[in-house]
């Protein structure tokens, strides 16, 4: 992959503890704007942001959304927003849109399809040609609402686009442990040699990361926050040291926290005063090294000896009855 040319950026003041500024200035290390993200983005210089990562509202009547918003609203908002996103994204920079499904009357619409369609059919030729889709990452999680009329939803997606053909991708920073690290080549010139990378394997485009529910260590009042490890993995692999990360829908601050942990600069916007306050406190805690979060590690397999992992007698009885009915049928 060709090496990108470095460009000069305003350097933050590192003499004292970084401050989270309410108003945007290019030299700020951290900015958290309270208001509409478009108002903030229009102040940002062109070609200046290394990574734009977010999870926009799905327009499904959540308590932080306008109850009148729908799929038409979602589309119109992105038709207005994405050209500005493209303008401020640096050449070789990345845009990561984490989205799921719009659900209404038990019918689902994959929102990544709508984003893809907007970019390829409704935006300018410059943007269509300039944004290159690198991955459609599937984020899978083991827990959530249990549905009785369709299979329960256990995944969302991340669309990773780059601005241009040349881009930064630091795979070594996000490698994960191999299942069989001692595996060796069994034939050919390398027969007998270790076949894997000593730093670990590529995490692939399917990420098994627990979602933030109930007793999760990162849980806040926000009903739809994503785990810190999602933006953290993207920040590590897609931004340079001291790179700039933008999250236009900051929510509970997960992207800002990940940026602080990885020593990147951060710009965010949040419309809700309640969630803005939560995000600001959490990012401050991350800057101070006091934030609690789940590290990027494999999902723990359950201890089959634990009481909660044992099959209850009631369940065993119900399953036995089902087997008997099937045999008689």
What whole-number distance in Å separates Cα of residue 258 and Cα of residue 243?
12
DSSP structure class, residue 314: H
What pLDDT is recorded for position 2? 46
For residue 174, tell me if it sits in a domain: no
User: Residue 92's closest CA among 128, 123, 131?
Assistant: 131
What whole-number distance in Å separates Cα of residue 168 and Cα of residue 163?
11
Weakly modelled stretches of the chain, pLDDT under 50: 2-3, 5-6
What pLDDT is recorded for position 89? 98
The DSSP result for 259-282, as a single string, is HHHTT-EEEEEES-HHHHHHHHHH
Express each pLDDT in 203-214 by its tens digit: 999 999 988 887
When divided into structural domains, the chain yields a total of 1
What pLDDT is recorded for position 252? 92
User: What range does the domain containing 57 cover?
Assistant: 20-168+205-328
What whole-number distance in Å separates Cα of residue 273 and Cα of residue 277?
6
What pLDDT is recorded for position 219? 81
What pLDDT is recorded for position 9? 61
For residue 320, tell me if it sits in a domain: yes
What pLDDT is recorded for position 96? 98
Express each pLDDT in 242-298 by its tens digit: 999 999 999 999 999 999 999 999 999 999 999 999 999 999 999 999 998 888 888
What whole-number distance in Å separates Cα of residue 142 and Cα of residue 208?
8
Residue 104 pairs in a beta bridge with: 107
The DSSP result for 69-115, as a single string, is --HHHHHHHHHHHHHHHHHHEEEEEEEEEEE-EEEETTEEEEHHHHH
Helix (H) or strand (E) holding 257: helix 254-261
What pLDDT is recorded for position 179? 87
For residue 144, tell me if it sits in a domain: yes
Structure token digits, residue 77: 């908002």
DSSP structure class, residue 209: -
Q: What is the CATH number of the domain that holds 262?
A: 3.40.50.150
What pLDDT is recorded for position 226? 86
For residue 318, tell me if it sits in a domain: yes
For residue 195, tell me if it sits in a domain: no
Cβ atoms of residues 164 and 2 within 8 Å: no
What whole-number distance in Å separates Cα of residue 82 and Cα of residue 311?
50
What pLDDT is recorded for position 168? 97
Cβ atoms of residues 59 and 224 within 8 Å: no
For residue 33, tell me if it sits in a domain: yes
- Strand ranges, E, within 115-251: 131-140, 155-163, 206-208, 244-247
DSSP structure class, residue 30: E
For residue 191, tell me if it sits in a domain: no
For residue 187, tell me if it sits in a domain: no
What pLDDT is recorded for position 194? 87
């Amino acid at each position: 992959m060709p090496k990108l040319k470095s460009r000069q950026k305003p350097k933050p003041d590192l003499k004292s503890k970084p401050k989270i500024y309410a108003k945007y200035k290019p030299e700020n290390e951290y900015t958290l704007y309270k208001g509409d993200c478009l108002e903030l983005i229009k102040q940002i210089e062109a070609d200046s942001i290394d990574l734009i990562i977010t999870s926009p509202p799905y327009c499904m009547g959540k308590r932080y959304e306008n109850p009148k918003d729908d799929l038409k609203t979602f589309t119109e908002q992105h038709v207005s927003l994405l050209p500005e996103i493209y303008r401020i994204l640096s050449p070789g920079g990345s845009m990561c849109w984490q989205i799921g499904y719009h659900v209404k009357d038990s019918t689902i619409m994959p929102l990544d399809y709508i984003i893809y369609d907007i970019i390829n059919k409704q935006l300018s030729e410059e943007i269509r040609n300039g944004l290159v889709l690198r991955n459609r990452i599937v984020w899978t999680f083991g827990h959530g609402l249990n549905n009785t009329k369709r299979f329960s939803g256990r995944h969302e997606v991340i669309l990773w686009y780059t601005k241009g053909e040349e881009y930064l991708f630091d795979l070594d920073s996000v490698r994960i442990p191999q299942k069989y690290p001692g595996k060796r080549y069994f034939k050919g010139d390398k027969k007998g040699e270790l076949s894997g990378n000593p730093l670990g394997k590529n995490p692939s485009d399917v990420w098994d990361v627990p979602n933030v529910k109930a007793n999760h260590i990162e849980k806040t009042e926000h009903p739809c926050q994503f785990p810190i490890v999602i933006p953290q993995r993207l920040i590590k692999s897609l931004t340079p040291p001291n790179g700039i990360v933008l999250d236009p829908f900051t929510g509970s601050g997960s992207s800002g926290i990940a940026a602080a942990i990885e020593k990147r600069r951060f710009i965010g916007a949040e419309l809700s005063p309640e969630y803005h306050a939560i995000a600001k406190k959490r990012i401050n805690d991350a800057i101070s090294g006091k934030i609690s979060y789940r590290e990027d590690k494999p999902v723990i397999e359950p201890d089959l000896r634990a009481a909660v992992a044992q099959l209850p007698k009631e369940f065993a009885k119900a399953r036995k009855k089902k087997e008997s009915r099937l045999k008689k049928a």
